[in-house]
């Protein structure tokens, strides 16, 4: 009986390790979105995470909410600097997220300023 419980416990631990490894490395999709960067904030009670929003439509009709990992210091600094401007972000969508990663499944990996298609020259 002791051997059986040990095997069941080992299988349970292995399953948890594989699950969290999968969530950490696998991405559901990758892409690029652009719009006006309307919000960047560092929020949370227990876990402080970086969150932001991009308006992709007229008058904020379509909002793209995203998270930024704490390890992406350069991206965070760029987002703070570009708030209120038209930007293009590259992102990865994960299957799930952890509370210490962020609120959304979309994680920004790079950001650059682009010209808005709505402004008349």
Q: What is the pLDDT confidence band of residue 98, given thresholds at 50, 70 and 90?
A: confident
Q: What is the pLDDT of residue 28?
A: 86
Domains belonging to the chain, first-starting first, are: 28-113 (2.40.50.140)
In this predicted model, what pLDDT tens digit does every residue of 8-59 receive, in sequence order? Answer: 999 999 999 998 888 878 788 899 999 899 999 998 888 899 999 998 876 6
DSSP state of 98: -
| Long-range pairs of 46-51 with CB within 8 A, sequence gap ≥ 24 | 46/99, 47/99, 47/100, 49/100, 49/101, 49/102, 49/103, 50/76, 50/79, 50/102, 51/102, 51/103, 51/104
Taking residues 81-107, report their average pLDDT. Answer: 89
């Amino acid at each position: 009986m002791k051997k059986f419980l040990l095997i069941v416990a080992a299988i349970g631990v292995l399953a948890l390790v594989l699950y969290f490894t999968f969530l950490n490395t696998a991405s559901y999709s990758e892409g690029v979105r652009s719009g006006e960067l309307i919000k960047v904030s560092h929020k949370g009670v227990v876990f402080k995470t970086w969150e932001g929003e991009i308006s992709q439509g007229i008058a904020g009709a379509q909002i793209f909410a995203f998270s930024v990992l704490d390890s992406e210091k350069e991206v965070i600094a760029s987002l703070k600097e570009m708030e209120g401007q038209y930007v293009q972000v590259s992102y990865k969508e994960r299957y799930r997220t952890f509370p210490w990663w962020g609120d959304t499944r979309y994680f920004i990996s790079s950001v650059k300023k682009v010209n808005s298609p709505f402004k008349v020259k």
